[in-house]
Every structure is written in C-alpha cells, then in structure tokens.
Amino acid sequence: MIRIAVPGFGALAIEHVVLDYNGTLAVDGTLLPGVAERIGRLARDVAVHVVTADTFGSARAELAALPCEVVVLAPAGQAEAKRAFVERLGAARCACVGNGRNDRAMLAAAALGIAVLQAEGASGETLASADVVAPDIRAALDLLLVPQRLVATLRD
C-alpha cells in the first residue's frame, strides 16, 4: 500500500494502480523504455492492473512477464467500463493513469488521477479530469514510487 498525507488534498491509501496501455504505457503497441522496471517495483506495494482496448493487439504479449493483471475491454463503452472497473476495486483505494478520452471517467473516479502527455497527446477532457498531469509515463509512475513528490504538486 502507498500511504501519503497531502495537506489540503487529503490522505491517500492506494492499494490498486490502474493503467491504460496504448498512449500511456506504450506507443504504437510497444511498451515504452523504463516502464517494465517501474511496474515491477510498484507491484511490490500495490496491485497493478492494465485496462485497455488493446488497439494494436499486443498488450498481453508485451506485459506477459510483468506482475500485473491485463484486462482487455470491448471496443464500445470503454470510458464507462474503465470507470466501473475502478469502482469494483474501490475507487477510494485507486490511483489511475491514462491519456485518452476513454480514461477520463476512471481518472475522475479514482482517489488519484494522473494524466500523461506523450507521443499520442492527451484528451483535454482527460487532462481536466486528472489531479496531476505528468510529462510522460516514467514521471507518472515515479510519482507513485516516490510519493513525497505528490505532496509538492497537490498540497494546498
């Protein structure tokens, strides 16, 4: 579990990290450098879930060696499916990371929503739904690995 108290934001007790795949962990279906190592470290403290439409059909193979659950969603209704997944886990115990429009609802529902801005860009609606915007996935995962960074960003 990741525990951090953020003045003016509240206390976070994160048990689950829910990650989008394409545009967040991967570009064009290929896992980005530095992501595997960070997921491995993160999984020592929390359950890691990857929820994806798997646009390129490569998520399961790319993530096969990593300690995470991979959930492939149907093409329709992805925003609602991702939000529902987070709510089933217990949204108050989740941190979510994404970039696409279909990530906006899960970021808004979670105790901590992190949007990333990478090669695919990021949906404006998703940016508005996030608590934090990170320049890339490595920086986003590092916020969870070194949670004192969140205090600097989120404190009142």
Q: Is 122 helix (H, G, I), strand (E, B) or coil?
A: coil
CATH of the domain at 54: 3.40.50.1000
* pTM for the model: 0.96
Dihedral (CA of 11, 150, 138, 106) sign? positive
Q: Per residue in 119-137, pLDDT tens?
A: 889 999 999 999 999 999 9
Q: Per residue in 71-124, pLDDT tens?
A: 999 989 999 999 999 999 999 999 999 999 999 999 999 999 999 999 889 999
Q: Please count the structural domains in the chain.
A: 1
Which pair of tokens denotes residue 63?
């993530």
Which pair of tokens denotes residue 82?
């991702």
What is the domain extent for residue 35? 2-154
